[in-house]
């Protein structure tokens, strides 16, 4: 993978916009956009700031894998899960009304 694809995957895993990520690293939106489109390559200083934002090393940014992506997923937002419905046994409905009195002959 190339660095531009890795930056996009990391940002999406963190669930932030390009604008917000650019602000977090102290750069403009157009600069960050160019990084993700591979028009420009980040300087070492920018890589250091990105590693601080994501809480991972520069090596992990460059050589991204699924383990690294799991590290940076925000804890507050639950991941999508497939919910399984439990089968619940239905109880017979109670009949409303008065009890009938026994007739004596």
CATH placement of domain 3-72: 1.10.260.40
- Per-residue tokens: 55: 């809480």
pLDDT in tens, 43-57: 999 999 999 999 999
Kindly indicate the confidence band of residue 68, based on its pLDDT and cuts at 50, 70 and 90. Answer: confident
Of 49, 63, 56, nearest to 6 by C-alpha is 63
- What is the per-residue pLDDT across 4-35, written as a single tens digit (0 to 9) for each? 999 999 999 889 999 999 999 999 999 999 99
pLDDT at 38 over 90: yes
Give the pLDDT score at 82: 52
User: Please, how many CA atoms are within 13 Å of residue 78, restricted to the half-sphere of its CB?
Assistant: 4
Domain boundaries of the chain, sorted by first residue: 3-72
* pTM (two decimals): 0.64
Q: What is the mean pLDDT of residues 51-74?
A: 84
For residue 57 the two structure tokens come to 């090393």
**pLDDT above 80: residue 84:** no
> Which of 28-32, 35-39, 62-66 is predicted least confidently?
62-66
Q: Are 29 and 18 in contact (CB under 8 A)?
A: yes
pLDDT of res. 79: 46
């Amino acid at each position: 993978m190339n660095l531009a694809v890795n930056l996009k995957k990391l940002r999406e895993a963190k669930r932030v916009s390009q604008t917000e990520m650019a602000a977090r690293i102290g750069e403009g939106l157009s600069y960050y956009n160019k990084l993700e489109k591979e028009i420009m390559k980040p300087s070492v200083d920018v890589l250091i700031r990105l590693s601080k934002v994501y809480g991972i090393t520069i090596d992990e940014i460059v050589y991204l894998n699924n383990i690294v992506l799991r590290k940076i997923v925000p804890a507050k937002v639950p991941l999508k899960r497939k919910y399984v419905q439990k089968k619940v046994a239905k109880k017979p409905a109670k009949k409303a009304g008065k009890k009938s009195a026994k007739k004596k002959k």
